[in-house]
């Protein structure tokens, strides 16, 4: 079983940023879960802000170390966290689907996002897998976000128990992480990931790879969770990272 460690803050700039800053003092042989009630400088993908009001949502970063020569173990870490979060929300009565690579969608709107980062410490990499889940976020706060978002409260009309969700998330994530790190069971997790993907073969897509927008048709999710997109030329191109727009 993986060893666990815990850090909690009532307010912090960002749980991912805190973990990066403090990576050298984290326990090397444990998975540290860093959480906060509020983030004053929450970060999303592509340098976006992650709106993080106090005591409404989950802001969590799982931190652990892998040796640099075992990098392949963590290429799909965001998909592993996405699957763990989906199973957690299933247990709370919410069925989410994935917008590639790792947006969790509920009623067609984003309810959670994942930001995975690494920082190098000697011969090892500290992996920081951060997730924000909109749990009890109120409508007036969500109006500040320029994309369609929702929260569990918004969908159900019921205030949800954040600590229960956090505990379930930790349980599911550690279980899957252990399967991957110790038993090389990534295949099974990617299969679960595929079953929840929103996109259908042949669906028209616009894809931003960080530099240019490409258009194509959704083909499939590869064995490592990356995207296979059929371009106008007919060729299928594989993308490890990017965003659908």
Contact residues toward ligand BTN (CB under 6 A) are: 14-16, 39, 42-45, 48, 50, 59-61, 103, 113-115, 130-132
CB nearer to ligand BTN: pick between 39 and 76: 39
CB of 45 to ligand BTN, least distance (A): 4
Decide: 68 and 125 in contact? Cβ < 8 Å. Answer: yes
CB of 54 to ligand BTN, least distance (A): 13
CB nearer to ligand BTN: pick between 42 and 216: 42
CB of 59 to ligand BTN, least distance (A): 4
CB of 92 to ligand BTN, least distance (A): 18
Beta strands in 57-188 (DSSP E): 58-67, 97-99, 103-106, 109-121, 124-133
Of 23, 111, 108, residue with least CA distance to 61:
23
CB of 206 to ligand BTN, least distance (A): 18
CB nearer to ligand BTN: pick between 37 and 219: 37
Own/partner contacts of 144-151, CB < 8 Å, gap of 24 or more, are 144/51, 145/51, 147/110, 148/108, 148/109, 148/110, 149/109, 149/110, 149/111, 150/106, 150/107, 150/109, 150/110, 150/111, 151/56, 151/57, 151/111
Decide: 26 and 63 in contact? Cβ < 8 Å. Answer: yes
Q: How far is CA 232 from each of CA 47, 74, 213, 219, 235, rounded to the nearest angstrom? A: 30, 32, 13, 12, 7
**Nearest residue relative to ligand BTN (C-beta):** 113
Of 142, 132, 140, 139, residue with least CA distance to 162:
132
CB nearer to ligand BTN: pick between 48 and 208: 48
CB nearer to ligand BTN: pick between 50 and 218: 50
CB of 60 to ligand BTN, least distance (A): 6
CB nearer to ligand BTN: pick between 41 and 158: 41
CA gap 40, 233 in Å, rounded? 46
């Amino acid at each position: 079983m993986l060893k666990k460690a815990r850090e909690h803050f009532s307010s912090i700039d960002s749980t991912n940023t805190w973990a990066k800053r403090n990576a050298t003092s984290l326990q090397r042989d444990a998975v540290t879960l860093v959480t906060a009630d509020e983030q004053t400088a929450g970060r999303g993908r592509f340098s976006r802000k992650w709106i993080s009001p106090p005591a409404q949502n989950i802001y969590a970063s799982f931190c652990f170390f892998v040796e640099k020569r075992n990098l392949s173990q963590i290429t799909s870490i965001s998909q592993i966290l996405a699957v763990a979060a989906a199973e957690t929300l299933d247990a709370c009565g919410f069925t989410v689907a994935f917008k590639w690579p790792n947006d969790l969608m509920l009623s067609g709107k984003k309810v959670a996002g994942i930001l995975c980062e690494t920082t190098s410490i000697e011969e090892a990499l500290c992996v920081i897998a951060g997730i924000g889940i909109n749990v009890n976020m109120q409508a007036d706060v969500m109006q500040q976000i320029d994309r369609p978002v929702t929260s569990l409260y918004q969908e159900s009309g019921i205030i949800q128990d954040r600590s229960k969700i956090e505990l379930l998330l930790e349980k599911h994530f550690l279980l899957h992480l252990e399967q991957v790190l110790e038993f090389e069971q990534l295949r099974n997790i990617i299969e679960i990931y595929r079953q929840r993907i929103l996109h259908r073969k042949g669906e028209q897509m616009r894809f931003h790879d960080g530099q240019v927008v490409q258009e194509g048709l959704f083909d499939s999710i590869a064995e490592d969770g990356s995207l296979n997109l059929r371009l106008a030329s007919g060729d299928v191109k594989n993308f490890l990272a990017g965003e659908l727009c």
